[in-house]
A = this chain, B = another copy of it.
């Protein structure tokens, strides 16, 4: 028997609520339906029954890393995804360029500044404060990943981000090590304002990118890699920095697909092509646009994105295919929810009576109601990579 390929596709924010139908019910998705018909379906609680997960936590759980033990915070995952190699003990943040007027943050995204300008501005910000090296890397639009590298940095700190109009918050640390981090955060905030205020690229901008807001703190430590942990090599195909970061964090081979943008303009055909060309036995592919449409309350776009993915799936080549979501993002809620997501498994698995891939049909599925922690055992079982327990 040759090597088998098992592909896990996570459609971010897949699940929805009926109004009176869900986007998945309304969408024309013949490929997903055919896979469901030929395979077996069910419902997945990605982290636990009715738990409302963030995408980061949910992906870790689905990929076999219990977030209670392995969640490093959002910052390190974003930093890894942005291409920064982290060292044990680094403290990392997500950050935004924002607009400050008379000490008040008036726009948390600096008018969604364009990526090109933001990248130039970010180059000015990497520095050293006291004995801490600060690495700033631009990702997309107003977004940055920032790493503090130095001795004895804690992560029990708040955020400088006011999360709305208001003054930049002064940060305090809970313990000695975190007090040091807080001090550097406050000094860096002042440093960034000074550098950015007078930057020529901000001249004439109605909403200048004249400050940086820090949030999502986390301290990085290395975790056992996926292959060592589960005995199967894996690749990761994703657009968004977070998802590449998660892949990198757990030791998947992150395949760069330049046309994968993590938004609705993403080239999903190029991603499927990368999945087909991946050499590893396991490939995780992430598809973001449905979640963004859910957050925007945009039914049509969520439906269209499902149809876009469905068309691309016709080209997918694999022995086993698992398709599910990391959580529900109901259009009617414009937020993540704890409703289960449908799941289908096609390949070295059984067949049930379900013929359509959607929330209501998969409730009748032969897999029943499973949880995120069951997914890696499922992958290993259908990949013939599971080690027998006992003899």
Across the interface, do B368 and A54 meet the contact criterion of CB distance under 8 Å? no
Contact of A377 among B43, B338, B348, B366 (CB under 8 A): B338
With A49-B378, A369-B369 already in contact, the answer to whether A391 and B338 are too (CB < 8 A) is no
Task: Encode contact with B along A343-361: 1 for CB under 8 Å, 0 otherwise.
Answer: 0000011111100000110
Give residues of chain A (374-391) contacting chain B, Cβ–Cβ below 8 Å.
Answer: 374, 377-378, 380-381, 384, 386-391
- CB-CB under 8 A from A368, the residues of chain B are 43, 363, 368-369
Q: Does A337 reach chain B (CB closer than 8 Å)? A: yes
| A386 CA / B58 CA spacing, docked (Å) | 15
| A52 CA / B67 CA spacing, docked (Å) | 25
Across the interface, do A49 and B390 meet the contact criterion of CB distance under 8 Å? no
Across the interface, do A350 and B17 meet the contact criterion of CB distance under 8 Å? yes
Q: Does A47 reach chain B (CB closer than 8 Å)? A: yes
Across the interface, do A337 and B67 meet the contact criterion of CB distance under 8 Å? no
The number of chain A residues touching the other chain, given as a range, is: 35 or more
Across the interface, do A55 and B363 meet the contact criterion of CB distance under 8 Å? no
With A381-B338, A390-B71 already in contact, the answer to whether A350 and B18 are too (CB < 8 A) is yes
- CB-CB under 8 A from A335, the residues of chain B are 384
Further pairs besides A17-B348, A216-B391, A367-B369: 8, Cβ < 8 Å? A18-B351, A49-B374, A55-B391, A58-B390, A339-B350, A351-B360, A363-B366, A364-B366
Q: Does A108 reach chain B (CB closer than 8 Å)? A: no
- CB-CB under 8 A from A364, the residues of chain B are 353, 364, 366
- What distance in Å separates the Cβ of A30 from its nearest Cβ neighbour in chain B? 22
Across the interface, do A349 and B390 meet the contact criterion of CB distance under 8 Å? no
Across the interface, do A50 and B381 meet the contact criterion of CB distance under 8 Å? yes
| A347 CA / B63 CA spacing, docked (Å) | 32
A-B contact pairs, 14 of them (CB 8 A): A47-B389, A50-B374, A50-B377, A50-B386, A51-B377, A51-B386, A56-B390, A58-B390, A216-B391, A337-B386, A339-B349, A350-B359, A363-B366, A364-B364
Contact of A380 among B50, B333, B363, B365 (CB under 8 A): B50
- CB-CB under 8 A from A374, the residues of chain B are 49-50
Across the interface, do A54 and B384 meet the contact criterion of CB distance under 8 Å? no
Contact of A390 among B53, B359, B377 (CB under 8 A): B53
Across the interface, do B377 and A49 meet the contact criterion of CB distance under 8 Å? yes
User: Who on chain B is nearest to A368 by CB?
Assistant: B369
Sorted nearest first, the 5 A-B pairs with minimum C-beta distance are A57-B390, A54-B390, A338-B381, A363-B366, A50-B377
Q: Does A89 reach chain B (CB closer than 8 Å)? A: no
- CB-CB under 8 A from A352, the residues of chain B are 360, 363
| A56 CA / B378 CA spacing, docked (Å) | 21
Q: Does A158 reach chain B (CB closer than 8 Å)? A: no
Q: Does A5 reach chain B (CB closer than 8 Å)? A: no
